[in-house]
Structure 1
Amino acid sequence: MATKHLQPLGSKAKRLYVKIMFQVMGRALQAVSEVDDEVCNEAYPLPTGFLFQMMVMPRGASLLIEHVGDGRFKYHSGEAPRPIDLAIKFKHLEHAFLVLSFQEKTSVAFANDRMLVDGDISYAVRMTRILNRLEAFILPKLVAKRAVKEYPPNLQLLEKLISAARIYLKVATHFIKTARAS
């Protein structure tokens, strides 16, 4: 009987976790594009105005970023201003939770048919490399190795710590600006 009442609570907690993680990831993608040259170089070929969305189907939590040019991203907290160019869609909340709680790599989730890509596959590969680079910076190495396909072999501890601090500072600043504007 107690299990029956805990199940909706667990589902609500996962939904909230995924929603918060998408907000953090969106802001962190904006921040890493301002901090890391490799991310800028990877994002540079994307068309200006390119919209990327990661979401839980059918109308669950999502993150939305726009390539504003020169390899830089801007996080959008609301609705898309125009049609999405690339969407990575998790088929179920549980699938998103597995990836966003770093229990399953994105590449494994895709191989297990837990997500869909709607848009150009080459852009999806590019965005996945950017997400992997971000995770390598902001997660402890042990966790990042579980989250990304391949941990960057040339990422030194000092570079990781400085970049992570800069990214987290920008994310916190963005959250504060958003809270003040509300």
Structure 2
Amino acid sequence: MLRKRIQPMVLQARRLYVDIMFQVMGRALQAVSEVDETVQNDARALPEGLLFEMMVMPDGPRLIVEHTGNGHFHYHGESAPRPIDLSIQFKHIAHAFLVLSFQEKTAEAFAHDRMLVDGDLSYAVRMTRVLNRLEAFILPKLIAERAVKEYPASLHLPEKLVSAARIYLKVATNFVETVRA
């Protein structure tokens, strides 16, 4: 009996967590594209105007970012200004929670068939590399090593701290600007 009452609350808590993480990740993607040259170089290979979406199927939380050119992203929130070009979709909120709570790497989630890609696979691989680089910056090394396929050997503490501070400041500024609007 108690289990029937708790299960919906657990599902709601996971959904709220995933929604908040998508908001943070979307803003952080925009910020890291302004801060990190490696991310900019990876993103430059994407076509200008590409709309990238990460979502939970069928109508769950989502984030949408656009490649605005020159390796920069713009976060659109949950609404797309036009049709999506590349979508990475989690099949269930529990799968998204595993990845976004850093219990499972993105590559493992793909291997366990917890995610779908709709769009050009080479763009999806590139976006996954960008996401991994972002996580390497903004997460403590112990957690980042669990979250990404391979932690960048060239990322040293001083660069990580300065870049993470710049990214977090830009994310916070974006949240404040969103609240004011």
TM-score by length of 2: 0.99
Separation (CA, whole Å) in 1 of partners of 2:155 and 2:7? 41
**1:150 and 2:150 are equivalent in the alignment:** yes
Superposition RMSD on alpha carbons, in Å?
0.6
Q: How does 1:24-173 map to 2 (within 5 A)?
A: 24-173=24-173
**Worse overlay, 49-58 or 78-87:** 78-87
Separation (CA, whole Å) in 1 of partners of 2:85 and 2:78? 16
Separation (CA, whole Å) in 2 of partners of 1:157 and 1:79? 36
Structure 2 SS opposite 1:89? strand
Structure 2: give runs of 5+ residues left out of the alignment. none
Give the C-alpha shift of residue 3 in structure 1.
Answer: 2.0
Separation (CA, whole Å) in 2 of partners of 1:48 and 1:123? 12
Match for residue 12 of structure 1? 12
Code of the residue aligned with 1:83 in structure 2: it is: P
Deviations 1:105-153, CA, capped at 9 Å, x for gaps: 0000000000000000000000000000000000000000000000000
Of all paired residues, the percent bearing the same amino acid is: 72
Separation (CA, whole Å) in 2 of partners of 1:45 and 1:122? 10
Separation (CA, whole Å) in 2 of partners of 1:164 and 1:154? 15
Matched-pair contact (CA < 8 Å) for 2:91–2:114: yes
TM-score by length of 1: 0.98
Separation (CA, whole Å) in 2 of partners of 1:86 and 1:165? 29
Aligned length: 181
Deviations 1:141-178, CA, capped at 9 Å, x for gaps: 00000000000001000000000000000000000000
Structure 1 SS opposite 2:82? coil
Code of the residue aligned with 1:98 in structure 2: it is: L
Structure 1: give runs of 5+ residues left out of the alignment. none
Give the C-alpha shift of residue 78 in structure 1.
Answer: 3.9
